[in-house]
Structure 1
Protein backbone atom coordinates (compact mmCIF):
# COMPACT_ATOMS: atom_id res chain seq x y z
CA UNK A 1 0.00 0.00 0.00
CA UNK A 2 2.74 2.52 0.94
CA UNK A 3 4.60 1.77 -2.29
CA UNK A 4 1.50 2.62 -4.32
CA UNK A 5 0.88 5.79 -2.27
CA UNK A 6 4.43 6.94 -2.99
CA UNK A 7 3.90 6.35 -6.70
CA UNK A 8 0.85 8.60 -6.48
CA UNK A 9 3.01 11.25 -4.78
CA UNK A 10 5.49 10.92 -7.65
CA UNK A 11 2.65 11.64 -10.07
CA UNK A 12 1.77 14.82 -8.13
CA UNK A 13 5.35 16.03 -8.58
CA UNK A 14 5.34 15.13 -12.28
CA UNK A 15 2.19 17.17 -12.82
CA UNK A 16 3.47 20.16 -10.85
CA UNK A 17 6.81 20.12 -12.65
CA UNK A 18 5.35 19.67 -16.12
CA UNK A 19 2.41 22.08 -16.13
CA UNK A 20 1.70 23.40 -12.61
CA UNK A 21 -1.41 25.31 -13.65
CA UNK A 22 -3.36 22.21 -14.71
CA UNK A 23 -5.57 20.74 -11.94
CA UNK A 24 -4.34 17.38 -10.67
CA UNK A 25 -6.75 14.52 -11.33
CA UNK A 26 -7.35 12.85 -7.96
CA UNK A 27 -9.05 9.89 -9.65
CA UNK A 28 -5.77 9.28 -11.50
CA UNK A 29 -3.86 9.36 -8.20
CA UNK A 30 -6.31 6.88 -6.69
CA UNK A 31 -5.82 4.51 -9.62
CA UNK A 32 -2.05 4.62 -9.11
CA UNK A 33 -2.58 3.96 -5.38
CA UNK A 34 -4.83 1.04 -6.39
CA UNK A 35 -7.81 2.18 -4.33
CA UNK A 36 -10.96 4.28 -4.63
CA UNK A 37 -10.80 8.07 -4.75
CA UNK A 38 -12.89 8.19 -1.57
CA UNK A 39 -10.48 5.96 0.37
CA UNK A 40 -7.40 7.64 -1.13
CA UNK A 41 -8.52 11.05 0.15
CA UNK A 42 -9.35 9.63 3.57
CA UNK A 43 -6.11 7.70 3.90
CA UNK A 44 -3.94 10.58 2.71
CA UNK A 45 -5.54 12.98 5.18
CA UNK A 46 -4.94 10.59 8.08
CA UNK A 47 -1.34 9.82 7.13
CA UNK A 48 -0.30 13.35 6.17
CA UNK A 49 -2.23 15.30 8.81
CA UNK A 50 -3.72 17.56 6.15
CA UNK A 51 -6.19 17.22 3.27
CA UNK A 52 -4.81 16.22 -0.14
CA UNK A 53 -6.09 19.48 -1.64
CA UNK A 54 -4.18 21.49 0.97
CA UNK A 55 -0.97 19.56 0.35
CA UNK A 56 -1.20 20.14 -3.41
CA UNK A 57 -1.92 23.83 -2.83
CA UNK A 58 1.11 24.18 -0.55
CA UNK A 59 3.38 22.31 -2.96
CA UNK A 60 2.18 24.45 -5.90
CA UNK A 61 2.80 27.68 -3.97
CA UNK A 62 6.18 26.41 -2.75
CA UNK A 63 7.25 26.00 -6.38
CA UNK A 64 5.66 29.35 -7.26
CA UNK A 65 7.66 31.04 -4.50
CA UNK A 66 10.90 29.80 -6.05
CA UNK A 67 9.91 31.44 -9.35
CA UNK A 68 8.86 34.65 -7.59
CA UNK A 69 12.22 35.04 -5.89
CA UNK A 70 14.17 34.02 -9.01
CA UNK A 71 12.74 37.08 -10.80
CA UNK A 72 12.89 35.57 -14.30
CA UNK A 73 9.13 35.93 -14.89
CA UNK A 74 6.73 38.74 -14.07
CA UNK A 75 4.41 38.11 -11.12
CA UNK A 76 1.45 37.83 -13.48
CA UNK A 77 3.31 35.24 -15.56
CA UNK A 78 4.03 33.23 -12.42
CA UNK A 79 0.38 33.51 -11.37
CA UNK A 80 -0.96 32.27 -14.73
CA UNK A 81 1.66 29.51 -14.96
CA UNK A 82 0.47 28.12 -11.61
CA UNK A 83 -3.23 28.19 -12.46
CA UNK A 84 -4.40 31.53 -11.05
CA UNK A 85 -6.67 33.65 -13.23
CA UNK A 86 -5.49 36.97 -11.86
CA UNK A 87 -2.63 38.54 -9.96
CA UNK A 88 -5.02 39.34 -7.11
CA UNK A 89 -6.10 35.72 -6.67
CA UNK A 90 -2.47 34.59 -6.76
CA UNK A 91 -1.48 37.22 -4.20
CA UNK A 92 -4.24 36.10 -1.79
CA UNK A 93 -3.27 32.43 -2.08
CA UNK A 94 0.45 33.24 -1.81
CA UNK A 95 -0.09 35.32 1.33
CA UNK A 96 -2.24 32.61 2.93
CA UNK A 97 0.65 30.13 2.67
CA UNK A 98 3.73 32.31 3.03
CA UNK A 99 2.49 35.15 5.23
CA UNK A 100 3.58 37.81 2.71
CA UNK A 101 2.47 38.75 -0.78
CA UNK A 102 4.53 37.85 -3.86
CA UNK A 103 5.53 41.47 -4.53
CA UNK A 104 6.84 41.82 -0.99
CA UNK A 105 8.66 38.48 -1.23
CA UNK A 106 10.42 39.57 -4.41
CA UNK A 107 11.20 43.08 -3.23
CA UNK A 108 12.27 42.51 0.37
CA UNK A 109 13.56 38.96 0.37
CA UNK A 110 11.03 38.06 3.10
CA UNK A 111 11.23 34.59 4.72
CA UNK A 112 8.97 32.09 2.96
CA UNK A 113 7.48 28.75 3.97
CA UNK A 114 8.52 25.55 2.28
CA UNK A 115 6.24 22.51 1.92
CA UNK A 116 8.55 19.52 1.38
CA UNK A 117 7.70 16.82 -1.08
CA UNK A 118 5.88 14.12 0.86
CA UNK A 119 6.59 10.39 0.90
CA UNK A 120 5.40 7.64 3.20
CA UNK A 121 7.61 5.14 5.03
CA UNK A 122 6.92 2.17 7.26
CA UNK A 123 7.57 2.72 10.96
CA UNK A 124 7.74 -0.55 12.88
CA UNK A 125 5.50 -0.41 15.94
CA UNK A 126 3.58 -2.98 17.87
CA UNK A 127 3.65 -2.26 21.58
CA UNK A 128 0.02 -1.08 21.48
CA UNK A 129 -2.30 -3.77 20.18
CA UNK A 130 -5.49 -2.91 18.30
CA UNK A 131 -8.65 -4.91 19.00
CA UNK A 132 -10.92 -5.26 15.99
CA UNK A 133 -13.41 -7.50 14.21
CA UNK A 134 -14.95 -7.48 10.73
CA UNK A 135 -18.70 -8.13 10.54
CA UNK A 136 -21.36 -8.39 7.85
CA UNK A 137 -24.44 -6.36 8.70
CA UNK A 138 -27.87 -6.30 7.03
CA UNK A 139 -29.54 -3.01 6.13
CA UNK A 140 -30.82 -0.90 9.02
CA UNK A 141 -31.70 2.68 9.87
CA UNK A 142 -30.21 5.26 12.19
CA UNK A 143 -33.17 6.85 13.94
CA UNK A 144 -32.90 9.77 16.35
CA UNK A 145 -31.87 13.41 16.15
CA UNK A 146 -29.50 15.08 13.68
CA UNK A 147 -27.37 18.25 13.80
CA UNK A 148 -24.86 19.91 11.44
CA UNK A 149 -21.58 20.43 13.33
CA UNK A 150 -17.92 21.28 12.53
CA UNK A 151 -15.24 18.58 12.62
CA UNK A 152 -12.85 18.81 15.60
CA UNK A 153 -9.73 16.60 15.60
CA UNK A 154 -8.71 16.80 19.27
CA UNK A 155 -10.59 17.43 22.50
CA UNK A 156 -14.32 17.73 23.12
CA UNK A 157 -16.38 19.01 20.18
CA UNK A 158 -18.36 21.90 21.76
CA UNK A 159 -21.09 21.81 19.10
CA UNK A 160 -21.72 18.10 19.64
CA UNK A 161 -21.63 18.46 23.44
CA UNK A 162 -24.19 21.27 23.30
CA UNK A 163 -26.42 19.33 20.89
CA UNK A 164 -26.43 16.20 23.08
CA UNK A 165 -27.13 18.20 26.25
CA UNK A 166 -30.07 19.87 24.54
CA UNK A 167 -31.82 16.60 23.68
CA UNK A 168 -33.10 16.00 27.18
CA UNK A 169 -33.66 12.79 29.12
CA UNK A 170 -37.03 11.96 27.55
CA UNK A 171 -35.69 12.10 23.98
CA UNK A 172 -32.65 10.06 25.01
CA UNK A 173 -34.89 7.35 26.48
CA UNK A 174 -37.10 7.29 23.37
CA UNK A 175 -34.04 6.81 21.14
CA UNK A 176 -32.61 4.08 23.37
CA UNK A 177 -35.91 2.19 23.28
CA UNK A 178 -35.63 1.94 19.47
CA UNK A 179 -32.32 0.03 19.57
CA UNK A 180 -32.77 -3.55 18.39
CA UNK A 181 -29.40 -4.43 16.78
CA UNK A 182 -25.68 -3.79 17.02
CA UNK A 183 -24.21 -1.43 17.96
CA UNK A 184 -26.71 -1.45 20.84
CA UNK A 185 -27.97 1.53 22.79
CA UNK A 186 -27.75 5.21 21.91
CA UNK A 187 -24.93 5.66 19.41
CA UNK A 188 -23.54 8.50 17.34
CA UNK A 189 -23.31 8.48 13.58
CA UNK A 190 -21.10 10.85 11.59
CA UNK A 191 -21.61 11.51 7.91
CA UNK A 192 -18.69 13.56 6.61
CA UNK A 193 -19.59 16.16 4.03
CA UNK A 194 -15.95 16.63 2.97
CA UNK A 195 -13.75 13.69 1.95
CA UNK A 196 -10.65 15.61 3.03
CA UNK A 197 -11.61 15.49 6.73
CA UNK A 198 -10.05 18.90 7.32
CA UNK A 199 -10.75 20.45 10.71
CA UNK A 200 -13.69 22.84 10.69
CA UNK A 201 -15.45 21.21 7.74
CA UNK A 202 -19.05 20.27 8.42
CA UNK A 203 -20.58 16.88 9.10
CA UNK A 204 -24.05 15.54 9.83
CA UNK A 205 -24.03 14.16 13.36
CA UNK A 206 -26.71 11.73 14.54
CA UNK A 207 -27.54 10.83 18.12
CA UNK A 208 -29.53 7.76 17.29
CA UNK A 209 -30.27 4.04 17.53
CA UNK A 210 -29.58 1.29 15.02
CA UNK A 211 -32.93 -0.27 14.27
CA UNK A 212 -35.04 -2.16 11.80
CA UNK A 213 -38.28 -0.89 13.33
CA UNK A 214 -40.63 1.66 11.82
CA UNK A 215 -39.28 5.07 12.86
CA UNK A 216 -41.45 7.60 14.73
CA UNK A 217 -42.65 10.44 12.52
CA UNK A 218 -40.86 13.11 14.58
CA UNK A 219 -37.41 11.48 14.40
CA UNK A 220 -34.62 11.97 11.85
CA UNK A 221 -33.88 8.85 9.81
CA UNK A 222 -30.75 7.77 7.90
CA UNK A 223 -31.13 4.51 5.90
CA UNK A 224 -27.92 2.45 5.91
CA UNK A 225 -27.33 -0.22 3.28
CA UNK A 226 -26.23 -3.75 4.05
CA UNK A 227 -22.48 -4.17 4.02
CA UNK A 228 -19.21 -4.96 5.77
CA UNK A 229 -18.04 -3.10 8.86
CA UNK A 230 -14.67 -2.97 10.61
CA UNK A 231 -15.24 -2.59 14.35
CA UNK A 232 -12.48 -1.25 16.61
CA UNK A 233 -12.45 -1.25 20.41
CA UNK A 234 -11.07 1.60 22.50
CA UNK A 235 -10.59 1.95 26.26
CA UNK A 236 -8.97 4.82 28.17
CA UNK A 237 -9.11 8.54 28.96
CA UNK A 238 -11.93 10.28 27.14
CA UNK A 239 -11.90 11.71 24.49
CA UNK A 240 -8.17 11.51 23.67
CA UNK A 241 -7.84 7.70 23.61
CA UNK A 242 -10.82 7.50 21.29
CA UNK A 243 -9.42 10.16 18.95
CA UNK A 244 -6.02 8.43 18.89
CA UNK A 245 -7.79 5.19 17.98
CA UNK A 246 -9.44 6.94 15.01
CA UNK A 247 -5.98 8.10 13.93
CA UNK A 248 -4.43 4.64 14.34
CA UNK A 249 -7.20 3.00 12.32
CA UNK A 250 -6.17 5.01 9.26
CA UNK A 251 -2.43 5.26 9.81
CA UNK A 252 -1.75 1.70 11.00
CA UNK A 253 -4.65 -0.67 10.33
CA UNK A 254 -5.79 0.22 6.81
CA UNK A 255 -2.27 0.29 5.27
CA UNK A 256 -1.68 -3.29 6.45
CA UNK A 257 -5.09 -4.89 5.84
CA UNK A 258 -6.97 -5.77 2.63
CA UNK A 259 -9.80 -3.28 3.19
CA UNK A 260 -10.68 0.26 2.18
CA UNK A 261 -13.36 2.62 3.38
CA UNK A 262 -16.58 3.16 1.47
CA UNK A 263 -19.05 6.05 1.75
CA UNK A 264 -21.38 5.70 4.70
CA UNK A 265 -21.87 6.76 8.30
CA UNK A 266 -19.13 6.10 10.84
CA UNK A 267 -20.72 4.84 14.04
CA UNK A 268 -19.58 5.20 17.62
CA UNK A 269 -20.83 3.52 20.78
CA UNK A 270 -19.44 4.99 24.01
CA UNK A 271 -19.83 3.89 27.64
CA UNK A 272 -18.55 6.67 29.91
CA UNK A 273 -17.28 6.26 33.45
CA UNK A 274 -19.31 7.94 36.20
CA UNK A 275 -17.03 10.98 36.24
CA UNK A 276 -16.90 11.17 32.43
CA UNK A 277 -13.10 11.00 32.26
CA UNK A 278 -12.76 7.47 30.80
CA UNK A 279 -14.68 5.48 28.23
CA UNK A 280 -15.04 2.07 26.62
CA UNK A 281 -15.98 2.52 22.99
CA UNK A 282 -16.56 0.81 19.67
CA UNK A 283 -15.87 2.49 16.34
CA UNK A 284 -17.77 1.10 13.33
CA UNK A 285 -16.44 1.98 9.86
CA UNK A 286 -18.04 0.77 6.59
CA UNK A 287 -15.45 -1.05 4.46
CA UNK A 288 -14.99 -3.33 1.48
CA UNK A 289 -12.11 -5.57 0.49
CA UNK A 290 -9.49 -4.01 -1.75
CA UNK A 291 -10.09 -6.70 -4.38
CA UNK A 292 -13.65 -5.39 -4.80
CA UNK A 293 -13.99 -2.95 -7.73
CA UNK A 294 -14.07 0.71 -6.60
CA UNK A 295 -17.35 2.59 -7.15
Structure 2
Protein backbone atom coordinates (compact mmCIF):
# COMPACT_ATOMS: atom_id res chain seq x y z
CA UNK A 1 0.00 0.00 0.00
CA UNK A 2 1.43 3.33 -1.06
CA UNK A 3 1.07 6.63 0.73
CA UNK A 4 -0.21 9.83 -0.83
CA UNK A 5 2.17 12.73 -1.37
CA UNK A 6 0.47 14.62 1.45
CA UNK A 7 1.02 11.68 3.78
CA UNK A 8 4.72 11.55 2.92
CA UNK A 9 4.93 15.27 3.57
CA UNK A 10 3.35 14.74 6.97
CA UNK A 11 5.84 11.96 7.76
CA UNK A 12 8.72 14.23 6.84
CA UNK A 13 7.55 16.66 9.51
CA UNK A 14 8.15 14.06 12.23
CA UNK A 15 11.41 14.47 14.16
CA UNK A 16 12.40 10.75 13.99
CA UNK A 17 11.92 10.78 10.21
CA UNK A 18 13.92 13.99 9.86
CA UNK A 19 16.72 12.52 11.95
CA UNK A 20 16.69 9.37 9.84
CA UNK A 21 16.91 11.40 6.64
CA UNK A 22 19.73 13.55 8.02
CA UNK A 23 21.60 10.43 9.16
CA UNK A 24 21.37 8.90 5.69
CA UNK A 25 22.66 12.09 4.05
CA UNK A 26 25.59 12.28 6.46
CA UNK A 27 26.27 8.58 5.96
CA UNK A 28 26.32 9.11 2.20
CA UNK A 29 29.33 11.42 2.55
CA UNK A 30 31.64 9.31 4.69
CA UNK A 31 30.61 5.66 4.41
CA UNK A 32 30.96 5.17 0.62
CA UNK A 33 34.57 6.39 0.87
CA UNK A 34 35.07 3.78 3.59
CA UNK A 35 33.76 1.30 1.02
CA UNK A 36 36.54 2.42 -1.32
CA UNK A 37 39.02 1.39 1.39
CA UNK A 38 37.33 -1.99 1.82
CA UNK A 39 37.50 -2.67 -1.91
CA UNK A 40 41.02 -1.25 -2.28
CA UNK A 41 42.48 -3.28 0.57
CA UNK A 42 40.49 -6.32 -0.55
CA UNK A 43 39.07 -6.86 2.94
CA UNK A 44 35.52 -7.91 2.13
CA UNK A 45 35.33 -10.12 5.27
CA UNK A 46 35.69 -7.00 7.43
CA UNK A 47 31.94 -6.37 7.23
CA UNK A 48 31.10 -9.79 8.63
CA UNK A 49 33.81 -9.60 11.28
CA UNK A 50 32.62 -6.21 12.52
CA UNK A 51 29.03 -7.45 12.55
CA UNK A 52 30.04 -10.12 15.05
CA UNK A 53 32.20 -7.71 17.03
CA UNK A 54 29.25 -5.32 17.20
CA UNK A 55 27.12 -8.13 18.57
CA UNK A 56 29.77 -8.73 21.25
CA UNK A 57 29.72 -5.04 22.16
CA UNK A 58 25.91 -5.08 22.35
CA UNK A 59 26.04 -8.16 24.60
CA UNK A 60 28.54 -6.43 26.92
CA UNK A 61 26.28 -3.39 27.02
CA UNK A 62 23.29 -5.50 27.99
CA UNK A 63 25.35 -7.22 30.68
CA UNK A 64 26.76 -4.03 32.21
CA UNK A 65 23.78 -1.74 31.72
CA UNK A 66 25.73 0.62 29.46
CA UNK A 67 24.49 1.92 26.12
CA UNK A 68 24.67 -1.16 23.81
CA UNK A 69 25.37 0.93 20.71
CA UNK A 70 28.20 2.81 22.42
CA UNK A 71 29.69 -0.52 23.51
CA UNK A 72 29.36 -1.82 19.95
CA UNK A 73 31.13 1.28 18.61
CA UNK A 74 34.01 0.97 21.06
CA UNK A 75 34.32 -2.78 20.45
CA UNK A 76 34.53 -2.28 16.68
CA UNK A 77 37.11 0.50 17.02
CA UNK A 78 39.31 -1.63 19.28
CA UNK A 79 38.90 -4.63 16.98
CA UNK A 80 39.92 -2.61 13.95
CA UNK A 81 43.04 -1.42 15.75
CA UNK A 82 43.91 -4.88 17.05
CA UNK A 83 44.00 -6.57 13.63
CA UNK A 84 46.14 -3.87 12.03
CA UNK A 85 49.47 -5.47 13.08
CA UNK A 86 48.37 -8.63 11.28
CA UNK A 87 47.64 -6.75 8.06
CA UNK A 88 51.02 -7.23 6.44
CA UNK A 89 49.40 -8.67 3.33
CA UNK A 90 45.79 -8.83 2.06
CA UNK A 91 45.78 -12.56 2.80
CA UNK A 92 46.98 -11.94 6.34
CA UNK A 93 44.27 -9.37 6.93
CA UNK A 94 41.56 -11.66 5.62
CA UNK A 95 42.77 -14.41 7.91
CA UNK A 96 42.80 -12.03 10.87
CA UNK A 97 39.22 -11.02 10.13
CA UNK A 98 38.16 -14.66 10.00
CA UNK A 99 39.78 -15.30 13.37
CA UNK A 100 38.22 -12.17 14.84
CA UNK A 101 34.78 -13.11 13.56
CA UNK A 102 34.94 -16.58 15.15
CA UNK A 103 36.19 -15.32 18.51
CA UNK A 104 33.73 -12.43 18.63
CA UNK A 105 30.61 -14.51 18.01
CA UNK A 106 31.72 -17.14 20.53
CA UNK A 107 32.37 -14.48 23.17
CA UNK A 108 29.07 -12.75 22.39
CA UNK A 109 27.05 -15.93 22.81
CA UNK A 110 28.89 -16.70 26.06
CA UNK A 111 28.22 -13.22 27.47
CA UNK A 112 24.55 -13.45 26.51
CA UNK A 113 24.28 -16.85 28.17
CA UNK A 114 26.01 -15.74 31.37
CA UNK A 115 24.09 -12.48 31.65
CA UNK A 116 20.70 -14.00 30.90
CA UNK A 117 20.02 -11.13 28.51
CA UNK A 118 17.44 -11.40 25.78
CA UNK A 119 19.44 -12.69 22.82
CA UNK A 120 16.59 -11.92 20.43
CA UNK A 121 16.75 -8.28 21.44
CA UNK A 122 20.49 -8.18 20.89
CA UNK A 123 20.22 -9.71 17.44
CA UNK A 124 17.34 -7.38 16.59
CA UNK A 125 19.72 -4.40 16.86
CA UNK A 126 21.74 -5.88 13.99
CA UNK A 127 18.76 -5.55 11.65
CA UNK A 128 18.70 -1.79 12.01
CA UNK A 129 16.22 0.68 13.47
CA UNK A 130 16.57 3.84 11.45
CA UNK A 131 13.77 5.72 13.21
CA UNK A 132 15.55 5.30 16.55
CA UNK A 133 18.52 7.42 15.41
CA UNK A 134 19.56 9.79 18.20
CA UNK A 135 21.44 13.07 18.30
CA UNK A 136 24.56 11.12 19.34
CA UNK A 137 24.25 8.97 16.21
CA UNK A 138 24.04 12.11 14.08
CA UNK A 139 27.17 13.50 15.73
CA UNK A 140 29.03 10.27 14.97
CA UNK A 141 27.94 10.20 11.34
CA UNK A 142 28.69 13.91 11.04
CA UNK A 143 32.20 13.34 12.38
CA UNK A 144 32.74 10.55 9.84
CA UNK A 145 31.38 12.78 7.07
CA UNK A 146 34.08 15.34 7.92
CA UNK A 147 37.01 13.15 8.96
CA UNK A 148 36.91 10.55 6.20
CA UNK A 149 36.94 12.96 3.21
CA UNK A 150 39.45 15.19 5.02
CA UNK A 151 41.80 12.24 5.59
CA UNK A 152 41.50 11.17 1.96
CA UNK A 153 42.30 14.67 0.76
CA UNK A 154 45.17 15.22 3.20
CA UNK A 155 46.84 11.83 2.62
CA UNK A 156 45.53 11.14 -0.89
CA UNK A 157 48.99 10.29 -2.29
CA UNK A 158 49.84 7.85 0.50
CA UNK A 159 46.39 6.26 0.46
CA UNK A 160 46.50 5.87 -3.32
CA UNK A 161 49.86 4.11 -3.08
CA UNK A 162 48.70 1.87 -0.24
CA UNK A 163 45.50 0.81 -2.01
CA UNK A 164 47.36 0.30 -5.27
CA UNK A 165 50.31 -1.73 -3.93
CA UNK A 166 51.47 -2.05 -0.32
CA UNK A 167 55.04 -2.93 -1.30
CA UNK A 168 55.22 0.09 -3.59
CA UNK A 169 53.90 2.25 -0.76
CA UNK A 170 56.61 0.95 1.60
CA UNK A 171 59.33 1.55 -0.97
CA UNK A 172 58.02 5.07 -1.47
CA UNK A 173 58.37 5.94 2.19
CA UNK A 174 54.73 5.61 3.20
CA UNK A 175 54.19 4.60 6.83
CA UNK A 176 51.94 1.77 5.73
CA UNK A 177 51.44 0.24 9.18
CA UNK A 178 50.16 3.44 10.79
CA UNK A 179 48.04 4.37 7.79
CA UNK A 180 46.52 0.88 7.67
CA UNK A 181 45.72 1.16 11.37
CA UNK A 182 43.90 4.46 10.84
CA UNK A 183 41.97 3.11 7.86
CA UNK A 184 40.94 -0.07 9.65
CA UNK A 185 39.69 1.89 12.66
CA UNK A 186 37.69 4.12 10.32
CA UNK A 187 36.20 1.07 8.61
CA UNK A 188 35.28 -0.49 11.94
CA UNK A 189 33.73 2.69 13.33
CA UNK A 190 31.82 3.27 10.09
CA UNK A 191 30.33 -0.24 10.20
CA UNK A 192 29.30 0.28 13.82
CA UNK A 193 27.87 3.71 13.03
CA UNK A 194 25.69 2.29 10.26
CA UNK A 195 24.10 -0.41 12.42
CA UNK A 196 21.02 1.63 13.28
CA UNK A 197 20.53 2.74 9.69
CA UNK A 198 20.40 -0.59 7.90
CA UNK A 199 21.65 -3.11 10.42
CA UNK A 200 25.07 -4.72 10.21
CA UNK A 201 23.71 -7.42 7.91
CA UNK A 202 22.80 -4.81 5.28
CA UNK A 203 25.63 -2.33 5.80
CA UNK A 204 26.82 -2.97 2.23
CA UNK A 205 24.13 -0.59 0.99
CA UNK A 206 25.92 2.34 2.59
CA UNK A 207 29.54 1.30 2.13
CA UNK A 208 30.42 -1.39 -0.37
CA UNK A 209 27.80 -1.07 -3.13
CA UNK A 210 28.41 2.64 -3.88
CA UNK A 211 32.16 1.95 -3.91
CA UNK A 212 31.79 -0.98 -6.31
CA UNK A 213 29.72 1.15 -8.66
CA UNK A 214 32.19 4.04 -8.39
CA UNK A 215 35.09 1.78 -9.44
CA UNK A 216 33.42 1.32 -12.81
CA UNK A 217 33.08 5.07 -13.34
CA UNK A 218 36.27 6.54 -11.89
CA UNK A 219 39.86 6.19 -13.05
CA UNK A 220 41.68 7.57 -10.01
CA UNK A 221 41.25 7.53 -6.25
CA UNK A 222 39.92 11.09 -6.32
CA UNK A 223 37.31 10.43 -9.01
CA UNK A 224 36.30 7.08 -7.49
CA UNK A 225 35.74 8.73 -4.10
CA UNK A 226 33.70 11.52 -5.68
CA UNK A 227 31.56 9.04 -7.61
CA UNK A 228 31.07 6.95 -4.47
CA UNK A 229 29.75 9.94 -2.51
CA UNK A 230 27.49 11.03 -5.38
CA UNK A 231 26.05 7.53 -5.74
CA UNK A 232 25.64 7.27 -1.96
CA UNK A 233 23.65 10.51 -1.79
CA UNK A 234 21.43 9.47 -4.71
CA UNK A 235 20.84 5.96 -3.38
CA UNK A 236 20.15 7.00 0.21
CA UNK A 237 17.77 9.79 -0.77
CA UNK A 238 15.89 7.72 -3.34
CA UNK A 239 15.76 4.58 -1.23
CA UNK A 240 14.48 6.42 1.86
CA UNK A 241 11.74 8.25 -0.04
CA UNK A 242 10.66 5.05 -1.80
CA UNK A 243 10.55 3.23 1.53
CA UNK A 244 8.32 5.97 2.98
CA UNK A 245 6.11 6.00 -0.11
CA UNK A 246 5.61 2.23 -0.17
CA UNK A 247 5.58 1.91 3.64
CA UNK A 248 8.45 -0.61 3.57
CA UNK A 249 11.50 -1.15 5.84
CA UNK A 250 14.19 1.31 4.69
CA UNK A 251 17.13 -1.10 5.07
CA UNK A 252 16.16 -3.63 2.39
CA UNK A 253 14.95 -0.86 0.08
CA UNK A 254 18.31 0.91 0.37
CA UNK A 255 20.14 -2.33 -0.44
CA UNK A 256 17.97 -3.04 -3.47
CA UNK A 257 18.33 0.54 -4.71
CA UNK A 258 22.10 0.48 -4.32
CA UNK A 259 22.26 -2.96 -5.91
CA UNK A 260 20.23 -1.79 -8.90
CA UNK A 261 22.61 1.14 -9.39
CA UNK A 262 25.66 -1.11 -9.10
CA UNK A 263 24.23 -3.54 -11.65
CA UNK A 264 23.24 -0.70 -13.97
CA UNK A 265 26.72 0.80 -13.82
CA UNK A 266 28.15 -2.53 -14.95
CA UNK A 267 26.53 -1.86 -18.32
CA UNK A 268 29.03 1.00 -18.69
CA UNK A 269 32.29 -0.23 -20.26
CA UNK A 270 34.98 -0.51 -17.59
CA UNK A 271 37.91 1.86 -17.92
CA UNK A 272 41.11 0.15 -18.90
CA UNK A 273 43.11 2.14 -16.37
CA UNK A 274 43.18 0.32 -13.08
CA UNK A 275 41.58 2.41 -10.33
CA UNK A 276 44.01 4.86 -8.70
CA UNK A 277 46.78 3.57 -11.02
CA UNK A 278 47.28 7.05 -12.42
CA UNK A 279 47.52 8.66 -8.99
CA UNK A 280 49.80 5.98 -7.58
CA UNK A 281 52.05 5.84 -10.62
CA UNK A 282 52.38 9.62 -10.77
CA UNK A 283 53.24 9.78 -7.07
CA UNK A 284 55.84 7.04 -7.44
CA UNK A 285 57.38 8.69 -10.49
CA UNK A 286 57.62 12.03 -8.68
CA UNK A 287 59.93 10.45 -6.11
CA UNK A 288 62.55 9.89 -8.76
CA UNK A 289 62.58 13.39 -10.26
| Structure ranking higher in helix proportion | 2
Higher RCO structure, 1 or 2 (CA under 8 Å, sep 6+): 2
Q: Normalised by the shorter chain, which TM-score bucket?
A: under 0.3
User: TM-score, length-normalised on structure 1?
Assistant: 0.24
The structure whose Rg is larger is 1
